[in-house]
């Protein structure tokens, strides 16, 4: 498990996964076969990471034109959540609540899995019931989309509330006002998990100043002018995909 490794071990494991994915892409995906060979990243079945930054930046247009994703991208969101819980001293089986601004109809398999992991999913159609469940369940962590969190805060202001270790907002945008209201209501830090449609969860920010933690087993991230260059360590990979950050 990545969460048990030292930073040096994590780096070595990430590089090992990156090499394996580059070799896979070279062998299996025609677009990458040409690009990686031309950049000198793969030669004679050997991967040379020192040439990694020679790989041209990948755009959405190229993804569509070359059909790079094929049947789609699968990112291990479950591992991301487990890792972030671990950073706060939470175990896999500590009570966890996930709030969504939608009706939830889990399958039997999902219900069994949630029970085993001590995880509760709640729709915020009735904020009063959600507040009551939070106070009775006393979850160590809460994961919520922004709309659901806003509904609960609107009802819970000035009411006694259980305080979890943290709240992670899993929406594209987290307004500063909502973060402040949530921290005041729940008396705990509120983080923002940033995702993109193509790459899945990328980073969790600890503060508006963007002190961030990324997921080293599923992504390699480079900073670039005006955004990030993301390489997904999943099959099929996106290699140096440009994400604009305003």
Segment 159-192, tens digit of pLDDT: 899 999 889 888 767 888 999 999 999 999 888 8
Q: What class has domain 77-214?
A: alpha beta
User: Is residue 80 packed enough to be buried (19+ CB in 10 Å), middle (13-18) or exposed (0-12)?
Assistant: buried
According to the model, what pLDDT value does residue 1 have?
44
Please say if the pLDDT value at position 119 is more than 70: yes
Consecutive H or E run containing 177: helix 176-186
pLDDT mean over 16-37? 93
According to the model, what pLDDT value does residue 47 have?
95
User: Is residue 62 packed enough to be buried (19+ CB in 10 Å), middle (13-18) or exposed (0-12)?
Assistant: middle
According to the model, what pLDDT value does residue 203 have?
66
Q: Which residue has the higher pLDDT, 33 or 70?
A: 33
Q: Which residue has the tokens 């930073």?
A: 7
Omega prior to 236 cis, within 30 of 0: yes
How much of the chain, in percent, has pLDDT values that exceed 90?
37
- Give the pLDDT band (50/70/90) at residue 3: very low
According to the model, what pLDDT value does residue 197 have?
67
Rounded to a whole number of angstroms, the CA Rg of the chain reads 20
**Range among 49-58, 224-233, 234-243 rated most confident:** 49-58
Distance CA 46, CA 32 (A): 15
H helix runs in the chain, sequence order:
7-28, 30-38, 60-66, 77-87, 108-116, 127-137, 146-156, 176-186
Distance CA 180, CA 182 (A): 5
Mean pLDDT rounded to a whole number for the chain: 81
Q: Which residue has the tokens 């008396």?
A: 187
The residues of the chain that CATH labels 3.40.50.980 are: 77-214
The pTM of this model reads 0.60
Q: Which residue has the higher pLDDT, 228 or 214?
A: 228
Q: Which residue has the higher pLDDT, 97 or 244?
A: 97
According to the model, what pLDDT value does residue 53 have?
93
**Range among 45-49, 88-92, 197-201 rated most confident:** 45-49
Nearest to 156 by CA among 192, 195, 182: 182
According to the model, what pLDDT value does residue 187 have?
94
According to the model, what pLDDT value does residue 2 have?
45
Please say if the pLDDT value at position 209 is more than 70: no
Q: Which residue has the tokens 């990545």?
A: 2
Nearest to 152 by CA among 203, 93, 100, 110: 100
According to the model, what pLDDT value does residue 104 have?
72
Distance CA 168, CA 149 (A): 10
Distance CA 222, CA 228 (A): 6
Q: pLDDT (tens digit, 9 = 90+) per residue, 52-105? A: 999 999 988 888 888 887 644 444 455 555 555 555 555 556 788 989 888 777
Nearest to 184 by CA among 207, 153, 229: 153
């Amino acid at each position: 498990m990545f969460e048990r490794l030292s930073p040096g071990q994590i780096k070595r494991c990430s590089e090992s996964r990156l090499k394996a994915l580059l070799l896979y892409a070279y062998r299996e995906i025609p677009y990458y076969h040409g690009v990686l060979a031309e950049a000198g990243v793969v030669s004679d079945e050997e991967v040379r990471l020192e040439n990694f930054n020679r790989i041209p930046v990948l755009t959405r247009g190229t993804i569509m034109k070359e059909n790079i994703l094929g049947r789609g991208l699968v990112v291990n969101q479950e591992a991301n959540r487990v890792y972030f819980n671990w950073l706060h001293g939470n175990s896999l089986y500590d009570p966890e609540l996930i709030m969504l601004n939608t009706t939830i109809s889990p399958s039997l398999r999902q219900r069994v899995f949630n029970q085993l992991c001590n995880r509760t999913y709640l729709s915020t159609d009735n904020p009063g019931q959600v507040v009551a469940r939070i106070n009775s369940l006393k979850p160590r962590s809460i994961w919520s989309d922004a709309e659901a969190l806003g509904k609960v805060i609107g009802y819970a202001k000035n009411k006694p509330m259980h305080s979890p270790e943290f709240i992670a907002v899993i929406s594209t945008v987290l307004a500063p006002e909502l973060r402040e209201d949530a921290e005041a209501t729940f008396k705990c830090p509120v983080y923002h998990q940033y995702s993109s449609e193509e790459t899945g969860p990328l980073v969790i920010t600890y503060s508006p100043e963007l002190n961030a933690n990324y997921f080293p087993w599923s992504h390699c991230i480079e900073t670039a002018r005006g955004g990030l260059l993301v390489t997904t360590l999943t099959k099929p990979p996106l290699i140096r995909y440009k994400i604009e950050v305003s």
